[in-house]
Structure 1
Amino acid sequence: MKKTYILLLTVVFILGSLTAVFADKGESNGKGKGKKKEFQLGVEVLLDEQKQLIEGKRVGLITNPTGVDQELNSIVDLLFNDPDVELTALYGPEHGVRGDAQAGQYVEFYTDETTGLPVYSLYGQTRKPTPEMLENVDVLLFDIQDVGTRFYTYIYTMAYAMEAAKENNIEFIVLDRPNPLGGHKVEGPVLDPAYASFVGNYPIPLRHGMTVGELATLFNEKFDIGADLTVVEMNGWERDMYYEDTGLEFVLPSPNMPTLDTALVYPGAALIEGTNLSEGRGTTKPFEFIGAPFVNSTEFASALNTLELPGVTFRAASFTPSISKHSGKLSHGVQIHVTNKKAYKPVETGLHIVKTLHDMYPGDFKFGAENSAGVSFFDNLIGNGWIREAIEDGTSVKEMEKQWKKGLKDFEKVRKEYLLYK
């Protein structure tokens, strides 16, 4: 009996040891800490495999809080503490390098407290690096998480910096990151160049389905920037991946983009910024909350749910924004709940929201004021002037989609040439 007991203990010990060995092997094959071998961000590929791109060169870095590796280490610290890298300057987009400025807030030049490096604002007196800003730089790196929507301004910060790099004979490197909305679907009208602005500077659709690296290549070649561009691609990213499929932690890229749910509704819900309704800024659910003091939330939610739009439902909701439109005022409207992200069409949904509000509240609903050229902020966001007119004329969203379909198909043909991940 005693011998049997000892034998059983021995078997248990051996099995436990084998389990530990296989578990360790599992980590090195893509589980736990080893997942980096299967999936790597551009910054990780740069430092692990392609550091020769920046060794022996003075490096300028355009980044914000999203510039981190999979362990959430800041690229600023990774480069600054690397003995093989000479980091000489930092450049901040809208919201700044540390992400502490609100939308549209002017950002000044300052010195980074942690590194002592100069931080030049690309959302202050200039949105394009000047020759003086680039005096001590041989190569510019861009490492910022995009959200897959045309009017998110970081991609134009990238484009302007590419122009400056070209003009000053500086190399430009984009460290690629995932498109949170995946890499397959494109939606919405292609921007009319006559309506170009910092919330839409190139003829691409609202939902472009490209990574920042792919956009950089498109901008550089199709739109004739002509910079000395290198894209450090990710390892292991596939076009059908949404952000959560990567296993990455989500770092909010701007103060009003706190979650992946926000990014998912953003391509359509942000059109509300071009109206007199609150898009939920100053609440815990920006772009998910839509409303104003004059809205009847129950009736509005019912009208939207009657449309039976794919992958989404609307809940009657009230909220009080702490900033921006209707600040401090109780507002009524809806919360957008995405029930099936693969079926959900954010641009179509956003236009239905705008049109429904326009039709239900003709005396209260207003588009943003026109400038001297007759262009409203809504026109800049949607990328043309005819959709606002179509809404005011009673045209259905389905008819609007038919009108932009050809332009979208033409873009898709061009887009294929610049996709880095097949």
Structure 2
Amino acid sequence: MPHVRTGAERLAADPALAGGARLGLITNPTGVLPDLTPTADALLASGVRLTALFGPEHGLRGTAQAAGAEGDAVDARTGLPAYDTYELSGPALDRVVAASGVDTLVFDIADVGARFYTFVWTMYDLMESAARLGLRFVVLDRPNPLGGIVEEGPPLDPAFASFVGRFPLPLRHGRTVGELAVLFGFDVDLTVVEMEGWRRDMTHAETGLPWVLPSVNMPTPDTALVYPGTGLIEGTNFSEGRGTTRPFELIGAPYADERLAPALTALGLPGVRFRETWFTPTFHKHAGTPVRGVQLHVHDRDAFRPVLTGLSLLHVARSLYPGDLRWQGPDLFMDRLWGSGTLTRCLEAGEDPRELCPPPGRPRGPLLYP
């Protein structure tokens, strides 16, 4: 099967595409070529002068759990200094970037297509820093594993901007990281090394590229497909399946009962079925406690609407267990995930939150791919 040629593969073959004399690579385990050679290794072998590495949430090597990082270090394989950018922005991030001595920042991390996945906000913050410091910024583009045909969910209210959303994107945004970089509109010297051979209707399997876990709880393309909806469960005391082999596909709570799966099935949601199941998370919410819930089985990915499905899960859980379902995390994390306060207000009022979700649409420009 012919594979999509990523921006990283193109740069490794033609180092002149990046320009710059001292390049810093923002990357993680997804930064690999199709033969699984790490992008940093491939660029060094091709003569690109990498002088620093930068890691996002979960770290350069991807060993940290959610809301964690690996800290500054020296990369053992390349010998390059590796800087931790997680939870840094503004002047604090500027100081780290300036101390690295780079004149060009190069971004090569795979996104999963959901607004509250943090890697694109690492890119956003570093683009903003590059603009302030007068540095060039290069994005090595990669496929959106959800494709580029559909966007779903309301845009972020800027009053709720945070590290799980800094720009008014819908929850499922339908764009590549290169397209997002252009959309953000920073006054920065930006180059997107575009992919070759990618179509907006492609599944991940059709790209011919290997799937590398973007983060520790994103094990498969199936996880990425449901994540824009079931990621909302993180804002509640329901388990979103962390601590299992199927995070975000397994949803449940100790107080859930036999009514949950039939109630979800009765909604007739497009492209998905619900199977009653039991599981015991090994860490995170309800660790070591058996919980009852459902597993999502997507049988038609084209028809499936993850955001609608996530809202339906919340609606059913709130209707069945009003005294047990609670919000999780500081400062109403659910509001930051959703991108406004409308969802929690709707659920607390006993209303149907699916009315908050506009009909899915097609991403609009600027787009780099037909």
Per the normalisation by structure 2, the TM-score is 0.95
Matched residue of 1:81: which SS? helix
Q: Give the corresponding residue for 2:165.
A: 200
Taking the aligned partners of 2:8 and 2:23, their CA distance within structure 1 comes to: 14
The residue identity in structure 2 corresponding to 1:166 is A
Instruction: Note if 1:299 corresponds to 2:259.
Output: yes
Once superposed, what is the RMSD of the aligned Cα atoms?
1.7
- The residue correspondences of 1:19-38 to structure 2 (distance < 5 A) are 31=1, 35=2
Partner of 2:94: helix, strand, or coil? coil
Instruction: Give the structure 1 partner of residue 206 of structure 2.
Output: 245
Alpha-carbon distance, 1:162 to partner: 0.5
Distance of 1:125 and 1:235 partners within structure 2: 33
Q: Report if the CA contact (8 A) 2:153-2:171 is conserved.
A: yes
Q: Does 1:72 align with 2:33?
A: no
Higher helix share goes to which structure?
1
| Counterpart amino acid of residue 348 in structure 2 | E
Q: Which stretch has the larger CA shift, 184-193 or 129-138?
A: 129-138
Question: How far 1:81 sits from its partner (Å)?
Answer: 2.5
Distance, in Å, in 1 between the alignment partners of 2:97 and 2:157 is 32
Question: 1:243 deviation in Å?
Answer: 1.1
Superposed displacement of residue 369, structure 1: 5.5
Shift of 1:80: 2.4
Shift of 1:55: 5.3
- Alpha-carbon distance, 1:133 to partner: 3.1
State how far apart, in whole Å, the 1-side matches of 2:137 and 2:110 are.
17
**Deviates further, 51-60 or 160-169:** 51-60
- Once the two structures are superposed, residues 220-268 of structure 1 have per-residue CA deviations (whole angstroms, 9 ceiling, x without a partner) of x2xxx21111100000101111211111110010000000110000000
Residue 231 (structure 2) pairs with residue 267 (structure 1):
no
Query: Any conservation in 2 of the 1:131–1:168 contact (CA below 8 Å)?
Result: no
2:368 maps to 1:420:
yes
Corresponding letter in the other structure for 2:127 = M
Give 1:417's aligned amino acid: G
Name 2:82's counterpart in structure 1.
119
Residue 10 of structure 1 is matched in structure 2 by none
Q: Write the deviation string for residues 313-346 of structure 1: whole angstroms up to 9, x where unpaired.
A: 0111111111111111111101111010000000
Counting only pairs closer than 5 Å after superposition, residues 192-231 of structure 1 correspond to structure 2 as: 192-219=157-184, 221=185, 225-231=186-192
Match of 1:339 in 2: 299
Partner letter of residue 310 of structure 1? P
CA distance in 2, matches of 1:100, 1:227: 32
User: Gaps (5+ residues) in structure 2?
Assistant: none
Aligned residue number for residue 356 of structure 2: 400
Counterpart of 1:157 in structure 2 is: 122
Structure 2: distance between partners of 1:326 and 1:115: 40
Report the Cα distance in structure 1 between the residues aligned to 2:75 and 2:329, rounded to whole angstroms: 39
Contact 1:189 1:206 (C-alpha < 8 Å) held by counterparts: yes
Shift of the 124–56 alpha-carbon distance from structure 1 to 2, 3 Å rule, reads: closer
Q: Distance in 2 between matches of 1:126 and 1:378?
A: 22
**Stretches of 4+ aligned residues off by more than 4 angstroms:** 124-128
Amino acid at match of 2:9: E
CA positional deviation for 1:132: 4.3
Equivalent position to 1:98, from 42, 61, 64:
61
Cα shift at 1:204:
0.7
* Partners of 1:332 and 1:66 in 2: CA distance: 33
SS of the residue corresponding to residue 197 of structure 2 reads: coil
Aligned counterpart, 1:391? 347
Tell me, in whole angstroms, the C-alpha distance in 1 between the residues paired with 2:295 and 2:342. Answer: 28
- The residue aligned with 1:19 is none
Residues of 2 paired with 1:53 and 1:131: CA distance? 27
Shift of 1:131: 3.5
SS at match of 1:131: helix
TM-score by length of 1: 0.84
How many residue pairs align between the two structures?
A: 368
